[in-house]
Amino acid sequence: MPRQKTALLSPELFYTGITRATRHCTLLIEQDISPLLKIRRPESSHLVGINCSLFDFTPAPDGFELLRREGYLEDRKIHRTLADVMVRSKSEVIIANLLFDRDVAFEYEKPLYAPDGSFYLPDFTITWRGERFFWEHLGLLVRDEYRRKWQTKREWYERHFPGRLVTTEEGANLSKDALALTQKHFS
């Protein structure tokens, strides 16, 4: 499997290959297995994206293409937390480790769907005392485009999940800010 071109690789193609083998199936993988890891995710399916069912048309939710974007999900999660969850930044490691240390259940970048079908990937989805909260860490507010996108996302949270969002911002005091926020909301 060539490392550079994996756009054709999908769960369906992989399934077809391994189920059609009559005696054995040999996989040739060059350098790393990240293309195989990527096709494990439902959003890698070509069939989901084209709504191929003859009996039921279910349009993909707004933003579904974000999940299908090349390299978006797995390959940039490079930091391992104490909870054995891979995250994208050292700042998110700090937050995840605080939550883990305090036995606060969380999921990282779990798609959150609004009633209108739109969705985002909160950095952390937290379940605390039977209720869900969403924690966003704002790492790049110094960039205009990031700030504009964050404004849109914040309005989305306010419209669909009022009172459920907590945020931290990048800075020298992140550890203390995150600890204070954790003590305030999840103690």
CATH 3.40.1350 fits 79-185, yes or no: yes
Residue 47 has pLDDT above 80, yes or no: no
What digits encode the pLDDT tens for the residues 16-41? 877 888 887 777 777 766 667 666 66
Q: How far apart are CA 97 and CA 103, in angstroms?
A: 10
Which tokens go with 115? 């009633």
Q: How far apart are CA 119 and CA 70, in angstroms?
A: 18
Which residues are 165's β-sheet partners? 134
Per domain, the residue ranges of the chain are 11-60, 79-185
Handedness of CA 95, 97, 103, 109 (dihedral sign): positive
Across the chain, what does the average pLDDT equal?
80
pLDDT for 155: 96
pLDDT for 104: 94
What digits encode the pLDDT tens for the residues 97-112? 999 999 999 999 998 9
Section 166-170 average pLDDT: 95
